[in-house]
Amino acid sequence: MRWLLRKRNGAPVNRFGDKWKLGLLECSRTVVTSCRAVLLPRFGGPEVLDLRDNVKVPDLKSNEVLVRARAVSVNPLDTRMRSGYGRSLFEPLLPLILGRDISGEVAALGGSVRSFSVGQEVFGALHPTAVRGTYTDYAVLAEDELTSKPASISHVEASAIPFAALTAWRALRSTARIKKGQRVLVVGGGGAVGFSAIQLAVAAGCHVSTTCGGESVDRLLAAGAEQAVDYTTENYEVAIKGYFDAVLDTIGVPETERIGINLLKRGGHYMTLQVHKRSYSILFSSLSLLLIMVQSFCPVCYRGRLHP
Ligand SMILES: NC(=O)c1ccc[n+]([C@@H]2O[C@H](COP(=O)([O-])OP(=O)(O)OC[C@H]3O[C@@H](n4cnc5c(N)ncnc54)[C@H](OP(=O)(O)O)[C@@H]3O)[C@@H](O)[C@H]2O)c1
């Protein structure tokens, strides 16, 4: 890591002492110009990932925040992008830095950022198509891609939440517009997106049923699901009764798709996360909502009700 100490009126700026005297607008004058990062120079298996020193850190735009990473997470999107998903879009932009989620501390602020201060603990997620991701010591995120990290959760826990929870939020709140009293089915509630979806739907006052592996049953019932059916031992087509206002299918195989659609009420929403599906995919739709949602789901998290 290398620090650039810029001059103020010709005099060198003290690396730490002057930072506090200068105030928020001046903080970005002490800038990290390079750091370690895991680069993706070509598509392939995990072996293509390349840890390098002295990777350039871009200058901050006025709405951007430099975050010193304490924890990042690996999402299915990262592994798919590493393998070549979105090749036509990303190949001309190689080498990429993968990673969407981050939890860490604010290291510097763009000139118009008002929500954060240097040293504050934050977490958040980058836009799905960002080419400079979070697998780096210093990541750059827009102000509205971040929020304050609650002291009640660790950096590791916080970094596991944003992208999965935002995906669940997008499906349930923005697409299905779930309301208090409605019935929601989460197929695959034991995974990152499914577990977030259960907690968000319960927090919205919905009646939640889910399917999961046997080891996940107690955890999902404790999170507020009213019924958790073990798909490895039970026929959930028989076990789940009635019809649902929203079905979030995190598995998306033909069988779960058929059952999920059959369990819909008239006018209900079936949503799948399988990106190869033509019409149901929500992953890349309405990307701007992703940014808004970082802020939106956090009140649930602050109340200690959203767990990674
Ligand atoms: N994570 C993200 O940020 C994100 C964002 C956008 C889209 N997605 C997509 O969403 C999907 C799910 O991702 P995820 O991160 O939630 O996956 P995950 O954490 O790996 O969870 C998948 C879970 O599905 C359960 N499962 C497997 N087969 C099942 C079946 N037949 N019926 C019911 N449950 C089954 C397993 O639960 P048990 O352990 O209970 O058996 C497993 O833990 C993937 O297609 C992914 O690409 C993920």
Superfamily the domain 2-159 falls into: Medium-chain alcohol dehydrogenases, catalytic domain (3.90.180.10)
CATH classification code of 163-294: 3.40.50.720
Test site for ligand 1: of 250, 253, 271, most ligand atoms within 8 A of the Cβ: 250
Residue 187 CA: nearest ligand 1 atom is 33
Encode pLDDT of 58-112 as tens digits: 999 999 999 999 999 999 999 999 999 999 999 999 999 999 999 999 999 999 9
120 CB contacts (<8 Å, ≥6 apart)?
105, 106, 148
Report pLDDT for 129. Answer: 86
Residue 250 Cα to chain centre, angstroms: 15
How many helical (H) and strand (E) elements, i.e. helices and strands, does the chain have? 11, 15
φ/ψ of residue 208, rounded to 5? -115, 130
Instruction: Say how many Å lie between the CA of residue 212 and the centre of ligand 1.
Output: 10
Residue 190 CA: nearest ligand 1 atom is 40
pTM strictly above 0.85: no
Encode pLDDT of 296-307 as tens digits: 443 333 334 566
- Domain ranges for the chain: 2-159, 163-294
The response to whether residue 213 sits with its C-beta less than 6 Å from ligand 1 reads yes
pLDDT band per the 50, 70, 90 thresholds, residue 275: low
φ/ψ of residue 109, rounded to 5? -130, 140
> Residue 73's closest CA among 107, 40, 101, 31?
101
Give the chain's mean pLDDT.
Answer: 84
The response to whether residue 274 sits with its C-beta less than 6 Å from ligand 1 reads yes
